[in-house]
Amino acid sequence: MPSAIFDKIGICKNELGDKNGAIIDYTKSINIDSGYNDAWYYRAEIYYYNHQYTKAVYDLSKFLENVDDTEALFLRGKCKQALGNYKGAFSDYNEANLYGADFAYRLAYCKYKLGDKDGAIVDLVRLKNNKDFVDDTNTYLKAVKLLNNIVGW
């Protein structure tokens, strides 16, 4: 059976809430054809949402061996950040170079954790003052709180 069939079955199972069944089908797809990249990414997404960050980093790294994908880089950065690998997360975030409140906050947070408080402050003030980001209230509030903690306001 072609690997793409298991990939499509995995997608259906995931949509129906059967995350474990989806992982099994994505794994079957990978075992048949490890070069079939979509299964690596889809399985990594489930691992991320299940807080299995090490597994997600592995799958995303396999996916990124053959594909340039900013969303995959950003997701791998989020997994690395969750694991406390701020240097690796910062590298992935820089390479992804996305635009958005979550991206800006995560980049600033990694700078802060890596000892670049001034760089974090600049990024957080820019985020705080960017009207485009105000719609993402949760991230905006996290950014303001971190900024206050850094500068002691």
How far is it, in rounded angstroms, from Cα 33 to Cα 87?
Answer: 32
Task: Clarify whether residues 30 and 105 are in a common domain.
Answer: no
Task: Clarify whether residues 106 and 149 are in a common domain.
Answer: yes
Query: 72-89: per-residue pLDDT in tens?
Result: 999 999 999 999 999 999
Residue where a domain terminates, one of 85, 116, 134: 85
pTM of the model: 0.86
Torsion angle of the four alpha carbons 88, 62, 10, 80, in this order, in degrees rounded to the nearest 10: -10
Query: 16-52: per-residue pLDDT in tens?
Result: 888 888 899 888 888 888 777 789 999 999 999 999 9
Task: Clarify whether residues 151 and 128 are in a common domain.
Answer: yes
How far is it, in rounded angstroms, from Cα 30 to Cα 36?
Answer: 7
Write out the residue range of the structural domain in which residue 68 sits. 1-85
Furthest CA-CA distance within the chain: 61
Q: How many domains does the chain have?
A: 2
Task: Clarify whether residues 81 and 122 are in a common domain.
Answer: no
Task: Clarify whether residues 39 and 5 are in a common domain.
Answer: yes
Tokens 């980001």, residue located: 133
**Token output for 34:** 């490890």
